[in-house]
Each structure stands twice: as C-alpha cells, then as structure tokens.
Amino acid sequence: MAETEVRASIIMPAYNAARTLEQAIGSALRQTERRVEVLVIDDASTDATADIAAGFATADARVRLLRQPINRGPAAARNLGMQAARGAWTALLDADDQFAPERLETLIAMGESHGADIVADNLLLCPEGEHEHASPMLAPALLPEAKWMSAAEFVAGNVGSRYTPRISYGFLQPLIRRRFLQTHRLRYEEKNRFGEDYLFALNCLLRGARWWITPLAMYFYRVQSGTLTEVQSAADLSRIGAYEAALLRSHPVVAADPSLAAALRRHKRVMEHFYYYRAFTDALKARSFMPAASLLLESAHSFRHIIAESAMQAPRVALKALRGGFRQSRSAQAVPVAAGIPHDLPAPR
C-alpha cells in the first residue's frame, strides 16, 4: 500500500504475546477503515510472537513485522514503529488489547472534522480480557460529552486515587497526526517503563497539540491482576518527578497557565510519595539497610511518605509474603527526586 493511501498506522509493541497477539492483529485488520497498516514490533520475544506476526504479514500486505535484536521495552518499540509509520495518523494498540471494528474510522473522522492533532476515546476495561464484563474507564459523570482536553486537565486526570487506581488519562490510547509528531520530533522516553505514556502525551500538549476526547468507548483494554505499584521503579518515578520539577521552574507554557502549574505540583507530590516508598522497599529487598535508613531519615517529608504508604500496603505485603515472598524491583538504586533532570531524560523545550 502506498504511503498516501495509508490513513492510519497501527503501532503494536509485542513481547511474549503469543497468547493474545492473533486477536489483537485480527481486530486491527477488521477495521471498517480498510486503509491501515499494522506494525508489529517484536521486542525480542522468546515465544511464538514473531512467528504469528510473520504469518499475518505473509497473508496480508497491510501487516509488517519489525524486530528488536534485544528487549528494549514498549517505549523503544513505539519509537521504532513511529519511525517506520506511513499513515496520516498513528494509533497505538497493545498486543493484549483489541479495537472495536469502527474505532479508527470514527476517531479519524472526529480528528479531521475538528482539526485535532490528537483524538482519543474512552476505554473499555476488561478484567483478564473478558469483554462481556467490560466497563468504561471514565464514567459519564467524569466525561459526559466530547470536548477539548487541555494540558491541565490531562495532568489532573493522571493523579487519581488509591480507590480508583484504574482511572487515569495516561491509559488512553490516542490517535495522533503523524505530521505533528514529525514537526516536533516527538519520541517516547525509552528509559521509562512506567509513565512513558504520560510523559509523551504531556510533551505533545506542551508543544501545542489540540486534543479532542469523546466518551465513546471503542478500545478493549485488558486489565491484569495485581497492583499498579508493582510495575513502578524508583528510577522511573524519579525521572518523572525531576522532569515535572524542571517544567515548574522554567517552562513558559507552565508559567503562563496557573491551573497547569497546580496540576503538575500535585502530580509531582504523588510521584515523590511513591518514589520514596519504592526506593525504600527496593533497598530493603536488596538488604541494603543503610541506604534504606538514609531514605527513611532523609527528611520529615521522606519519613512521612514512607510510613504512610507502608501502613497502606501492610495487608498486601503480608499476604504476598505468605504466598512466596517478593522479587526485587528492576531498579533498586535510589535516585533523589530533588537531583534535577537526570542525564538520560531530554530537557523540556
């Protein structure tokens, strides 16, 4: 298919996704908008993921398989997919999720009619992939009608609460104009395996992206068992907090928007809260007791965060210990949030 004929490039990172990949690709190919390409980025899988994708590519020219030589994470896979994309719009689809058949046609029409750079729908949360038990992530009270979403609203929509951990604008899977991405040279932060979607979308908005969101729910989002804190690393949380601190210090868009600044300050506090708890528990799991004590006693601020979250997590920790214990997080190194912008995160523009 020629580049000018591709309306949407569906970017699908896949790592050991053999169990769900066929359904995900099938939902992409069954779109009522037929002018699509499906870019499956195999992230050095050890199962049949690449073979399944290759089979689809042989049967349908709209499917392309891209392969990473080593596992680099979903952010790097998405960057590779965006680099190879030929469509007017890019669409994200995780390898264990699915699209409703009319999703791309509907969202592209909305994006074109409103002149949007980003367009997103609601999610249908599917516990363990069971579509019959799906429920919208954003209830009608939270998103009663289609609207423009500002940067301040996006950041505020990522704060959430421990009682509604699955409600976050960062989970949305938007369509983005490829021309906008190319103009601003936007890429995912590859060091982060948690919060990379949040950082990417925030950077789009800071560069002036116009985001249209509809309450229609056409993306089937597989909800895995477990808690969100299990996928956080101290380094991920530190990078997000440091980046937000830099935005608050010097970014002109933030300085001109008090509501955005307030939302960033609140989100940064949440990141710091979980950073201190994660770094503390990682140090304990690594039997690095002196660094753990240093974090606990670093300040009244750190002490309060660690004790408060430890109290909240105590029942879950006890249950998990009875079931066989813990594994150390990917990043047990403590990186102070106050240290500024880490060298591996680009400075805000």
Question: What are 249-282's pLDDT values in tens digits?
Answer: 999 999 999 999 999 999 999 888 888 888 888 8
236 and 208 both lie in a single domain: no
Task: Reply yes or no on whether the pLDDT at 334 is more than 80.
Answer: no
What is the per-residue pLDDT for 301?
78
56 and 154 both lie in a single domain: yes
For residue 347, give the DSSP letter.
P
Q: Is 347 among the domain residues?
A: no
Closest CA to 190 of 155, 234, 239, 227: 239
DSSP per-residue string spanning 34-99 = --EEEEEEE-S-SSSHHHHHHHHHHH-TTEEEEE-SS---HHHHHHHHHHH--SSEEEE--TT-EE
48 and 113 both lie in a single domain: yes
143 and 289 both lie in a single domain: no
197 and 243 both lie in a single domain: no
What is the per-residue pLDDT for 70?
96
Cβ neighbours of residue 292 closer than 8 Å, sequence gap 6 or more: 280, 283, 284
45 and 113 both lie in a single domain: yes
Write down how long the chain is.
349
What is the per-residue pLDDT for 4?
56
In the chain, which ranges are E strands? 8-14, 36-42, 63-67, 89-92, 98-99, 118-127, 135-136, 147-149, 175-177, 211-223
| Residue 305 and residue 205 in contact, taking contact as beta carbons nearer than 8 Å | no
How many angstroms separate the CA atoms of 239 and 178, rounded?
26
What is the per-residue pLDDT for 323?
63
C-alpha distances in Å from residue 282, one per residue of 226, 295, 333: 18, 11, 8
Task: Reply yes or no on whether the pLDDT at 160 is more than 70.
Answer: no
In the beta sheet, which residues pair with residue 120? Answer: 213
Q: Which residue has the tokens 């050095």?
A: 44
Q: Is 335 among the domain residues?
A: yes
What is the per-residue pLDDT for 120?
98
169 and 245 both lie in a single domain: no
Domain of 11: which CATH number? 3.90.550.10
Domain that holds residue 43: 3-225
Kindly state the percentage of the chain with pLDDT values over 90. Answer: 64
Torsion of CA 32, 36, 41, 45, to 10 degrees: 40
What is the per-residue pLDDT for 318?
65
What is the per-residue pLDDT for 322?
66
Higher-confidence position of 315 and 238: 238
Determine phi and psi for 95, rounding to 5 degrees.
-70, -10
71 and 58 both lie in a single domain: yes
Higher-confidence position of 219 and 237: 219
Q: Is 346 among the domain residues?
A: no
115 and 156 both lie in a single domain: yes
Q: What mean pLDDT do residues 57-84 have?
A: 97
| Residue 139 and residue 153 in contact, taking contact as beta carbons nearer than 8 Å | no
36 and 160 both lie in a single domain: yes
The last residue of one of the domains, among 225, 258, 273, is 225
CA 174 to chain centre: 11
The last residue of one of the domains, among 225, 256, 271, is 225
Task: Reply yes or no on whether the pLDDT at 126 is more than 90.
Answer: yes
Classified as helix, coil or strand, 161 is coil
Q: Could you give the number of structural domains in the chain? A: 2
CA 14 to chain centre: 15
33 and 81 both lie in a single domain: yes
The last residue of one of the domains, among 190, 225, 260, is 225
How many angstroms separate the CA atoms of 119 and 188, rounded?
18
Cβ neighbours of residue 220 closer than 8 Å, sequence gap 6 or more: 27, 97, 98, 99, 100, 124, 126, 129, 131, 134
Amino acid found at 25? I
265 and 203 both lie in a single domain: no
| Residue 54 and residue 21 in contact, taking contact as beta carbons nearer than 8 Å | no
